[in-house]
Amino acid sequence: MKKNLWFGGGAVMVLLLDQVTKAWILANIRLHEGFPVIEGFFNIVHVRNPGAAFGFMAGATPVFRHAFFLSVTVAAILCILYYLKSAGEKGVLPRLALFLILAGALGNLIDRLRFGEVVDFLDIYIGAYHWPAFNVADAAISSGAVLLALFLLRGKKEAAGGDPGKV
C-alpha cells in the first residue's frame, strides 16, 4: 500500500507534467505551427488529435467518438484501479507500468473533456518520415505498456522454467 502511494505520487507528477506542457503549447504556439528543436529530427508543434493513436477513429462522428473514448478511458481507469487494489504486492514493474498508463489515460481524458480532442506537440521525424505527433500522456501510456509487456513476458519465462532475467 505504501509503495502504491509513491507510485501514485509519481503518476500525479506525470499528469501535471502532461497538463503543464499542453497549457504551454496552447498559450504559446498557434494551431498547426511549431519550431525545430533538433533540425531534421525533432520539432515542437501544436496539433489536435480527435482520434486515438495514429488517428484511429478520427473520421467517426464527433458525438460517437466522444462517447466511445470517454467510455473506454473510464473503463480502463477503473480496471487499472481495481487491479492495483486487488493485486497486492506483484513487484515494482507492474505497478510502475499501471501507474504510467493511468497517468497518461487521465491526461488525455482531461483533454477530451475540455476540448473534445487531444493536444499533441512532440513531432519526431527523419527526413519526410514523421512519427505521429504525441504528448507526455501518450509517452506515459506507451512506456507503461512496454513495461507491462516486459513483466508479462518475464512471467511466462519463469512459468516455463526459463531464465527470469533482471526486469
**Which residues are part of the catalytic machinery?**
120, 138
Burial class (CB in 10 A: 0-12, 13-18, 19+), 69: buried
Nearest CA to 100 among 136, 69, 133?
136
Backbone torsions φ then ψ of 37, nearest 5 degrees:
-105, -50
Residue 32: is it exposed, middle or buried by C-beta count within 10 angstroms (0-12/13-18/19+)?
A: exposed
**Sole residue written with cell 473510464:** 74
Give the Cα separation of 29 and 17 in Å (integer).
17
